[in-house]
């Protein structure tokens, strides 16, 4: 009898403790953790990524993840986030979807990362969406402007970062329509969602019938001479390139080598393939061919030494990234790091996979971007617009001009955006 009574008291006590634990559970700063804490310890948060450190897309892009890591090292030196240091595991996928699949599975199943952060590439990352979804792994700030990342009902853990390619196509298309209304416009793009989404935006503004020639490329074939010859044959006067940096250089360099040397269209190139330092380095002595190239961006210009974000990122690059050549890829990587730290701050001390997803969906982040971030429960895209840029006559700067623009990926109007960019906090670490 006494044993039964004691057993009953023990069960009752256990239920009381369980009820108390339940009452103070959940995510955020209060109570005990409730959710998936894979990749999180009392002292560390482990992120992983896939990046083309080698291969056809490595030019420029290989600098992104190390720049993000440098920003994390800077934050770690100041105590980390809620007492945890951030570790960033970077794996080379050579921009090959099969390799991406392998390394992402390693990161998730073997390394047990908390989240995949800024995985790069439309064709590469598309192939791991279902795997990350099935394992409920946060898939944060994908390094691509594909609209595939903005499907919160289908992929609730995936978030974009770049302005999507259709929005960009509409903004650049609007500029083309206004500036060169009577010239023949053509398109050269990557044979995947990158190219297709860019073309969709361009056609929304210009009309499909106004694009007189359309050519594409695959990253496994660096011979683009046949496609470029077709563009020349069509009499293209303005060519929109939805290209990664290496193929921007191939496109422009190949055009210059055509017989007669007369094919000299106005180049309008997607932001992801238009960084002047990256493409200029690839072209070498042919760098002057980039004179007058029009592009766009949503982050501060590396050529504006007075910009407080550029000053911050340069200082971090010098101290934590071995002072590698400072270009748009470095700015991009550090902007990703800054946003990630903001999300972690907001997710609270009791960090879980669920809490970081909820933190991003809350939206309202402010940072170095010259256009707004759009995160909400119903919108998992990233930046919502672009500011136009042009390579100067001496081909040593890529200057912004005019105000930024915002729009949607549908039929919405392209509008000027005039809100000022906030200065970084004194310690360079974003808060929630």
CATH number at residue 96: 3.40.50.2300
Judge if 86 and 131 occupy the same domain.
yes
Our separate counts of H helices and E strands in the chain read 14, 14
Q: What pLDDT is stored for residue 34 in this prediction?
A: 78
Range of the domain at 204: 166-297
214 and 261 in a common domain: yes
**Lookup: tokens for 310:** 């550029």
**Backbone phi, then psi, for 143, in 5-degree steps?**
-85, 75
> Do 239 and 314 fall into the same domain?
no
Tell me, yes or no, whether 271 and 374 share the same domain.
no
**Residues 276 and 259 both lie in one domain:** yes
Final residue in a domain of this structure, among 238, 264, 297: 297
Judgement on whether residues 278 and 313 belong to the same structural domain of the protein: no
Given 268, 297, 326, the domain boundary residue is 297
pLDDT for 33 equals: 54
Which tokens belong to 209?
């019938």
159 and 308 belong to one structural domain: yes
Q: Is residue 423 part of a domain?
A: no
> Is 36 inside a domain boundary?
no
* β-bridge mates for residue 92, sequence order: 51
How much is the pLDDT for 431? 83
In this structure, is residue 57 part of a structural domain?
Answer: yes
Those residues whose C-beta lies under 8 Å from the C-beta of residue 244, and which sit 6 or more positions away, are 56, 57, 59, 61, 190, 219, 272, 273
CB neighbours (10 Å) of residue 345? 16
Q: Are residues 208 and 181 in the same domain?
A: yes
Selection from 306, 317, 307, 310 nearest residue 74 by Cα? 317
pTM listed for this prediction: 0.91
The Cα-based distances of 315 to 80, 166, 168, 324, 399 in angstroms read 18, 34, 30, 11, 22
Task: Looking at the structure, tell me whether residues 253 and 132 fall in a common domain.
Answer: no
User: Mean pLDDT, 10 residues at a time, over the chain (432 residues)?
Assistant: 36 34 36 80 98 96 98 98 98 98 98 98 97 98 97 98 98 98 97 97 97 97 98 98 98 97 97 97 98 98 97 98 97 98 97 98 97 98 98 97 97 97 95 76
Residue 364 region, left (φ>0) first, then alpha (ψ -120 to 50), else beta?
Answer: left
SS3 state of residue 103 = helix
* Distance separating alpha carbons of residues 41 and 381, to the nearest angstrom: 29
Residue 426 maps to a domain: no
Question: Residue 408 CB: number of other CB atoms within 10 A?
Answer: 16
- 362 and 262 co-located in one domain: no
Answer with the one of 272, 297, 322 that is the final residue of a domain.
297
Contact 295, 269 (CB under 8 A): yes
- Measured CA to CA, the distance from residue 305 to residue 316 in angstroms comes to 15
Residue 403 lies inside a defined structural domain of this protein: no
The SS3 of residue 353 is helix
Q: Domain check: are 122 and 76 in the same one?
A: yes
413 in a domain, yes or no?
A: no
What is the predicted pLDDT for the residue at 52? 98
Looking at the domain assignment, is residue 22 inside a domain?
no
Q: Is residue 53 a part of any domain in this protein?
A: yes
Structural domain count of the chain = 2
């Amino acid at each position: 009898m006494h044993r039964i009574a004691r057993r009953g008291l023990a069960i009752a006590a256990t239920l009381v403790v369980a009820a108390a634990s339940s009452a103070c559970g959940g995510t955020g700063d209060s109570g005990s953790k409730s959710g998936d804490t894979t990749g999180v310890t009392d002292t560390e948060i482990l992120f992983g990524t896939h990046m083309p450190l080698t291969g056809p897309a490595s030019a420029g892009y290989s600098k992104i993840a190390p720049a993000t890591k440098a920003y994390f090292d800077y934050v770690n030196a100041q105590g980390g986030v809620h007492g945890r240091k951030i570790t960033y595991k970077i794996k080379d996928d050579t921009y090959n979807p099969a390799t991406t699949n392998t390394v992402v599975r390693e990161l998730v199943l073997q390394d047990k990362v908390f989240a995949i952060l800024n995985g790069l590439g439309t064709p590469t990352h598309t192939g791991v969406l279902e795997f990350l979804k099935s394992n409920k792994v946060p898939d944060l700030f994908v390094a691509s402007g594909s609209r595939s990342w903005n499907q919160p009902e289908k992929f609730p853990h995936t978030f974009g970062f770049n302005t999507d390619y259709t929005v960009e196509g509409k903004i650049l298309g609007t500029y083309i329509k206004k500036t060169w209304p009577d010239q023949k416009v053509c398109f050269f793009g990557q044979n995947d969602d990158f190219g297709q989404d860019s073309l969709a935006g361009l056609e929304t503004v210009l009309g499909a019938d106004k694009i007189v020639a359309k050519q594409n490329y695959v990253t496994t074939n660096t011979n683009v001479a046949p496609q470029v010859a077709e563009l020349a044959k069509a009499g293209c006067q303005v060519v929109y390139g939805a290209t990664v940096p290496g193929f921007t250089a191939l496109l422009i360099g190949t055009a210059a080598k055509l017989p007669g040397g007369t094919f000299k269209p106005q180049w309008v190139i997607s932001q992801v393939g238009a960084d002047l330092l990256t493409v200029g380095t690839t072209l070498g002595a042919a760098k002057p061919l980039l004179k007058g190239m029009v592009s766009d961006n949503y982050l501060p210009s590396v050529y504006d030494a007075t910009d407080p974000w550029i000053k911050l990122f340069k200082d971090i690059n010098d101290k934590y990234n071995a002072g590698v050549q400072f270009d748009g890829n470095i700015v991009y990587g550090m902007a990703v790091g800054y946003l990630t730290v903001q999300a972690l701050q907001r997710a609270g001390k009791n960090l879980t996979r669920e809490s970081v997803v909820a933190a991003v969906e809350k939206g309202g982040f402010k940072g170095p971007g010259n256009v707004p971030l759009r995160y909400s429960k119903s919108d998992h895209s990233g930046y919502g617009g672009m500011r136009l840029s042009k390579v100067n006559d001496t081909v040593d700067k890529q200057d912004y001009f005019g105000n930024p623009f915002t729009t949607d990926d549908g039929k919405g109007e392209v509008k000027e955006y005039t809100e000022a960019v906030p200065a970084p906090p004194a310690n360079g670490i974003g808060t929630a």
